[in-house]
Amino acid sequence: MTRSDDLESDLSDSGTDDAPAPVKRKRGRPAIVTGEQICETALEMGVATITMTSVASQLGVNHATLYRYVTSRDDLVRQAIDLAIQRTDFPEPNAADWRQFLWDTAVALTGMLDRYPGIATELAGGTFTHQVLRRGAEMMAGLVALGFEPTKAVLAMEFVTDLVVDHSRKTEQLDGRVPSQSMPSRDKLAQDWSDPADSEEPSLSEIIAAGRAAIGVEPHQWLESKLRIMLSGIAEEIAPH
């Protein structure tokens, strides 16, 4: 494989740390917005927590203006996610080998979800869009071109994307970038995962200690470990030989 040694390096090289540019508005004239500006603002604010009113307020327009471009809050979220996907540099389906292709896909998807908090939470909740489905189909077709059977291509791509989305959702909620009523903060989770009172179970204490240590691992490093295991499983079970 030609990928770098770790996911963190690949994410750094991909330039995904740049924050979305804020929407610029002219002073002294009624605000004029476009559909793209509305979606950009939704991404900047975080799609999991926006309302039509909050986006309109950020843009300096009446919320009724937004309905010229979107039909509802859910429609705005879907269009914003599609814009994020269009602006993300996903790998071409003609990569040298399937491992590299899936690794690069995970890097690109992780970078997009890092850049736009809330998308992982929306995707994990079942929000599907035109670009999500189309991009997924293109990636699966890329695996078929690399020798996978169609059903196994769907399995492999779904394994990787589900892993990245779920990991990113947990991370953005644990770190407080997206509010959650059910997910505690990272510190609170480590604190609550206390040692068992029963001293006759030392093995359980060791497991809990390992779990608490895992909570403090840098999220990209933890994702990398899971991704390596998953790729090994794909190689063993469903990859072409």
Write the pLDDT tens digit of every residue in 21-50.
554 544 444 457 999 999 999 999 999 999
Which pLDDT does position 112 carry in this prediction?
Answer: 97
Residue type, 152: K
Structure tokens at 177: 């970038």
User: CA-CA distance, 211 to 198, in Å (whole number)?
Assistant: 18
- For the entire predicted model, the pTM comes to 0.83
Please give the pLDDT value at position 53. Answer: 96
- CB pairs under 8 A, 24+ apart, for 39-42? 39/76, 39/79, 39/80, 39/82, 39/83, 40/80, 40/83, 42/76, 42/77, 42/80
Query: Would you state the pLDDT for residue 106?
Result: 97
Mean pLDDT of the chain: 86
What are the structural domains, with CATH classification, of the chain? 32-87 (1.10.10.60), 90-238 (1.10.357.10)
Q: Are 147 and 241 in contact (CB under 8 A)?
A: no
Segments in the chain below pLDDT 50: 1-2, 16-17, 19, 23, 25-30
Q: Looking at residue 203, what is its pLDDT?
A: 73
